[in-house]
Chains A and B, each alone.
Chain A
Amino acid sequence: MAVAARTAESAEPILRLRGVGRRFGGLEAVRDVDLDVRPGERRAILGPNGAGKTTLFNVVAGEFPPTSGTIELFNHDVTFMPARMRVGLGLTRTYQTSRLFLGLSVEDNLYLALVGVEGGHLRPVRLPGRDGTLRSQAREIAERIRLQDQLGAPVRNLSHGEQRQLEVGMALAGEPRLMMLDEPAAGLSRAERVQLTEMLLGLEREITLILIEHDMDVALTVAEYVTMMHDGAVIVEGTPAEIRANQLVHDLYLGRGHYERR
């Protein structure tokens, strides 16, 4: 509980969900979700497996559109905007299971993330000036995620922990305004989780954070506000303290969540 609760109640939300639902055939994975996230907020989305957290994430990131409701991002209606265009608005994300370019080096991975934001995706020539800038930016990010010594290593050869670090690094590229982290601590050792927590706490306030996390220590340390989901719907919202105190949360999740921890 080291972080002061600084929820900017006054500011306009940068992410606004209204009545968002997503069906897969007969399964209603997400139903009628309203959500407001304000600039600079650290928001955790909690819930047991199958609660619809990752589906909600994917809908926000544009992996697939919602089947009902609207999504506004930085005051744009992005409900049906493809994923690749949301990155231009400043939205980046990580994945629950790492989706890295295993055949490329750490530097190339970050370089691609930067090119993704900066444009010139189809440029079939090398421009030393432009590529030099991008590559030095890539190296800076590598330093932030403590992979500066592995720049040339194929990502395939990185340890799991290093791959998770890089996963966050990919989302850091290109000065994002909203970062969505899908279980960034998944599969990390205790020491690595501490390291990750420190890095997330050290992120500048210009970046708004939304994270899904199973690990309560990480989630409740980083987040200032928590949204609790169950069966596709939001059931409780509150500060970490309120969440810890909430009996429903305990019944549904916390006990099980602690049980799942290694």
Chain B
Amino acid sequence: MEQHGSRQQGRWRLWVLVGVLVLALAALAAACGGDDEAAPETAPAETEAPAETEAPAETEAPAETTEGDGAPIKLGILSDCEGAFGAFYEVDIGGAHMPMIARGATPAGANPTDGLENLPAPGGHPIEIVGYGCADDTPEKAIEETRRLIEQLGAEIMIGPLSGDEGIAVANYAKEHPEVTILNGTSGAQDTTLKVQAPNFFRFNSDGAQWNAGLGDYAYNVLGWRTAAAISDDYSFAYTSAAGFIAEFCAVGGQIPNENRIWPPLNETDYSSYAAQLAEIWDEVDGVFLGVGGAGAIPLLKAMEETIGPIDPQKVVGNLFYGDPVIVQELGDRAVGIASADSMWPDSTDPKATAWLETWDATWPDLAGFAGSVFAYNYNSAAEAMLQALEAVGGDLSDGHAAFREALAGVVLDAPFGQISLDANRQAIQDNFVRILTAEGPVTVWKIPQVAQDFGGTFTAETPPPDRTNPTCEPRELPWAGKAEVITAPEEVLGG
């Protein structure tokens, strides 16, 4: 057994090693929690949470006690640097920076994540960006990053997250942490505000259903559809997205029975069997709504071409992913004319809109062209609303952000693509647009003014959340049905 003896000694030392490692890291963490004054102005990574280990609620205490002498307002920005939306990381952060740059801040480098200098100081309280959260479109990572920004780095206000399920998780987190205020980045799941209703979670962008407002009306009244099919990803954001189309198309009199709703799994790469399912009912329907997002859009269209035949733009409409000119590059001119909907209006001639697009390209030359994306625009809206509210209350975050939140709830943004205000659930009421795809990009044909999340009572906290069979198909009153503003006549776009 003597060999065992020596191994035991090894184990001894091993445990010592592990113990030392743990202690070293613990000590590091404790040391990092040192006083904030020592932290350099804008390097976000070097500012840390207060050393005290009391409940996180304490983090707001300094703001209260040092009010008036310019205590910084700590801001964290959460987005995805990995996963399906990782490519838009810099765009998101850049969007959130724009309102601060408009107020005199200067970018520290070519990339938004290089940080900002000379940040604005509403009411004498300089804004301090404590960190950029980097999630991967899973709710778990979003929560971990939220906690790092808030609990470790001491953020009092956070902007984010990016994607649907992350939003639900972060809104739930907000509910458990009444001491922080969170403004949504660009996530669009309906439940986030309609169901969770966290009093400290504000969303200044439309949800996935609102993003399709106008499309059902357009399909019924312009394209003349009576019965339609829908094919959309099998997860919450895509349910919400399809719900927007289904609710509206049915409200104005159309039919989409459950058997016409097809749900391929998220991240599918081969859509041929779903296209075949669609082909079986192709003769019975007048058209199909496509809600398969992101990377799936083009494979789906190609699978449909193989099974059903060349795409007929009169028989296809899609959600925001179907306004991408890449589709015309991939499928050719027969894709020109596909109608889709979005809350973006990049072809607007309004000076506010053109100024926004030009300023963006000038500020972030490496990210030119992204100003019309939901990523840049919605992060910008959130940051703009935050600053307006902070300015209104003079940077006062006392009393659990009470005044700040009240101001935030009342903010009415005169945003580049149209006015944005909040409903009682702190959810955006915003214009929406129906566009027609051309080789040069989408041309906006309809504007649906001031779309609210509840679709005139179709969606409430009590109605079942959108899923494979909800909403059901029934005629309803829709506030905006038949009231769309024509921006460009559809015939004009297709004719020219």
A and B: direct contact (Cβ < 8 Å)?
Answer: yes
> Residues of A with Cβ closer than 8 Å to B?
152-154
B429 to chain A: closest CB distance in Å?
63
* Docked complex Cα distance between A152 and B4 (Å): 8
Query: What's the minimum C-beta distance from B8 to chain A, rounded to whole angstroms?
Result: 13
Number of interchain pairs (Cβ within 8 Å): 6
Residues of B within 8 A of A153 (CB): 3
The answer to whether B55 has its CB under 8 Å from any CB of chain A is: no
The chain B residues found within 8 Å of chain A, CB to CB, are: 1-4
A interface majority secondary structure:
loop
Q: Which residues of B contact A154 (CB under 8 A)?
A: 3
Closest to A151 in B: B1
Q: Bound state CA distance, A26 and B398, in angstroms? A: 88
Complex Cα distance, B469 from A224, in Å, reads 83
Q: Which residues of A contact B1 (CB under 8 A)?
A: 152
| B3 surroundings in chain A (CB, below 8 A) | 152-154
Which chain A residues border B4 with CB–CB below 8 Å? 152
CB<8 Å pairs between A and B, sample of 6: A152-B1, A152-B2, A152-B3, A152-B4, A153-B3, A154-B3
Chain A residues near B2 (CB, 8 Å)?
Answer: 152
How long is the Cα–Cα vector from A152 to B6 in the complex, in angstroms?
13
Nearest CB in chain B: distance from A139 CB, A:
13
Q: Which residues of chain B are within 8 angstroms of A152 by Cβ–Cβ distance?
A: 1-4
* Chain B min CB distance to A159 (Å): 16
What is the minimal beta-carbon distance from A6 to any residue of chain B, in angstroms?
Answer: 43
Q: In the assembled complex, how far is the CB of residue B69 from the closest CB belonging to chain A, in whole angstroms? A: 66
**A154–B3 CA distance with the chains assembled, in angstroms:** 9
Closest to B1 in A: A152
Question: Would you give the shortest CB distance from A44 to chain B, in whole angstroms?
Answer: 39
- Closest residue on chain B to residue A107 by CB atoms: B1
User: Smallest CB–CB gap between A124 and chain B, Å?
Assistant: 23
Cα distance A154–B2 in the bound complex, in angstroms = 12
Q: In the assembled complex, how far is the CB of residue A19 from the closest CB belonging to chain B, in whole angstroms?
A: 52
Kindly report which residue of chain A lies nearest to residue B2, judged by CB atoms.
A152
- B4 to A, closest residue via Cβ: A152
Least CB distance, B370 to chain A, in whole angstroms: 57
Question: Which of B2, B3, B4 has most A Cβ within 10 Å?
Answer: B3
Cα-based distance from A83 to B317 in the complex (angstroms): 66
How many angstroms between the C-alpha atoms of A154 and B1 in the bound complex?
11
In the docked arrangement, what's the CA distance between A153 and B3, Å? Answer: 7
- In whole Å, how far is B363's beta carbon from the nearest beta carbon of chain A? 63
Give chain A nearest CB distance to B5 CB in angstroms. 10
State A122–B3 Cα separation when bound (angstroms): 28
CA of A152 to CA of B3, assembled, Å = 8
- A257 to nearest B CB, angstroms? 40
Bound form: Cα–Cα A153–B2 in Å: 9
Nearest residue, chain A, Cβ from B3: A152
Per the bound structure, the CA–CA distance linking A146 and B3 in Å amounts to 19
